[in-house]
Chains A and B, each alone.
Chain A
Amino acid sequence: MKAPNTPPRIRIAAAGKRYQQHQIFENVDLTVGEREVVAIIGPSGCGKTTLLRCIDGLIPLTQGEILIEGSPMLAPRAGVAMVFQHFGLFPWKTVHDNVAYGLKLSGISKAEINERVPHFVKLVGLSGFEKYYPYQISGGMQQRCGLARALATEPRVLLMDEPFGAVDAQTREILQFELLRIWEDTPTTMVFVTHSIEEAVLMGDRIVVLKGRPSSVHEVVEVDLPRPRDRATLLLPHFAELREHVWGTLMADARQAEFDVIKNN
């Protein structure tokens, strides 16, 4: 379902990140096309979140470069938005004000913000909760709000950092299908970091498996499942095949990797 003949929106070339003596990842090469969803998966501590932060420009690379729409990501930029595992909602702002935050910073007039926010609040299913504070709504609703905040800036690149990692299993499933529905309405470039194999297969057009110490791209799995995807996708035999394949790649030396993480920390 990838649009052919479009230049890649994200190009990552020989990227590496080192903290003092500790090389997190190295030699990461990856291109992500317009309207493509790339899921990044790997054992915990392999640096997938660090890579995503580098893509957002929150932290600098130590080797290589990341280009978005042709220019290097040295700092956060308009058109790129991130959804955080920890939600990152401001406790002192209402749902409406949290969703409006990105718009406010981009200098849009208050009247226009008030016109646009309700659309995104509705898109994530939070209508009626505009005046609630984060502590008054559930974790799943909080992440809906975090998603709306990112979507409201109408990003050309959407970065998802284990967005459903902090919500319970049932909420997680609901949010996955909601995200698929929203993406179908406005398909955009998405990089989706997750530690759930099913989620990676369900979301991604490709799955990038990060592995090793320091980690690098171990394998790229093409996910040729039809879109739009929904609950029925989970029942396809090919879904199970892909899931098993990724499982095999990921878990081959998972036990050793886990020991390494503990030793290295």
Chain B
Amino acid sequence: MSGSAVLDADGPRGYALLNHPLFLKATAGLVLLCLWEGVVRWLAPPYVARPSGIAQVILGVLGNAEFLSAAGATLSAVALGLFISLITGTLIGFLMGRIMLLEQGLRYYVNSLFATPMVAIMPLLTLWFGYNTDARLAAVVFAGFFSVTVNACEGARSAPLECLEVAHSFRARPWSTLFDVIFPSSLPYLIAGVRLAAGRARVAAVVAEFFISIPGLGYYILYNSRTFHHNEAFVAVIVLVAAGVGFEAFTRWLTRRYFPWHRPR
């Protein structure tokens, strides 16, 4: 950091543009896109996705009703699954974090299930729930729930002793300690859990659609890849990435806006 600061200060004026972070990002992006375009044109058959091809189809795909309903189906399943994971995972994680017996009893199972790859149990989920949207929702919840639970448990356990002592001294009831101390102090952990869960949930939804062949972005990608519409398939990938980036930005905004005490500058 300090090294580049010195360079900034001493370098000639003409280099200011070069050092601008936005300029560097844009240039790197452009170079990567050109490389991709060049390599595909040079080596790959014409149906392989390339930037110019994607640019030609992207508006058409984004305006297509079938694509929009697929995107809606996948993203709403992810949102609903995350919501269920957040509520139930927080509840169970908090109980585990504050009740020693529960934590000791459940710890190994929760940690094992957290470590279980969701893809590995996908065939079983289809047997249990059938080849329908329920199986996709189950996959999303399975992928998200344990991330939230593990983090909520950790957060509840790491409530500052000083604050708990103050609550005790002012005769707080357990219920008010939950809302005044344990919940706010574990918010950073919960946010970390939800961010982790959001990534896993998107993977789960797409994989579930691969397996089950129900309408959604995953199935859209699979179908278009197999029918040589790689550019169209790639638009769905971009939408999935954008959803992830958007969610990240949303959590960061939420943290700054409502929890300024967390990681203050």
Q: Which residues of A contact B (CB under 8 A)?
A: 56, 58, 75-78, 81-82, 84, 86-88, 90-92, 101-102, 105-106, 133-136, 153
Q: How far is the CB of B179 from chain A (nearest CB, A)?
A: 11
Q: Is the interface of A mostly helix, strand, loop or mixed?
A: loop
- A-B contacts, 19 of them at CB < 8 A, read A58-B165, A58-B168, A75-B171, A76-B168, A76-B169, A81-B170, A82-B169, A84-B165, A84-B166, A87-B162, A88-B166, A90-B166, A92-B262, A102-B170, A105-B172, A105-B176, A133-B260, A133-B261, A135-B264
Q: Which residues of B contact A105 (CB under 8 A)?
A: 170-172, 176
Quick check: which of B51-59, B92-100, B180-188 contacts chain A, the rest being far away? B180-188
Question: Which residues between 164 and 209 of chain B lie within 8 Å of chain A, taking CB atoms?
Answer: 165-166, 168-172, 176, 180-181, 184-185, 187
Task: Give Cα A136 to B169, complex, Å.
Answer: 25
**Which of B's residues lie within 8 Å of A, judged by CB?**
162-163, 165-166, 168-172, 176, 180-181, 184-185, 187, 259-262, 264
The residues of B that contact A56 with a CB separation of less than 8 Å are 169
* B interface SS class: helix
Q: Nearest Cβ distance between residue B262 and chain A, in whole angstroms?
A: 8
Q: How many inter-chain residue pairs (CB < 8 Å) link A and B?
A: 53
B162 touches A86 (CB 8 A): yes
- Residues in B neighbouring A136, C-beta threshold 8 A: 264
Q: Which residues of A contact B260 (CB under 8 A)?
A: 133
CA distance A91 to B165 in the complex (A): 14
The answer on a CB contact under 8 Å between B165 and A101 is no
Bound Cα distance A92, B180 (Å):
9
- Given known contacts A101-B180, A133-B260, A135-B261, is B170 in contact with A76 (CB within 8 Å)? yes
Q: Is the CB of B169 within 8 A of A58?
A: yes
A88 to B169, CA, bound (A): 11
Considering the complex, give the chain A residue whose CB is closest to the CB of B183: A92
In angstroms, how far is the closest chain A Cβ from the Cβ of B136?
37
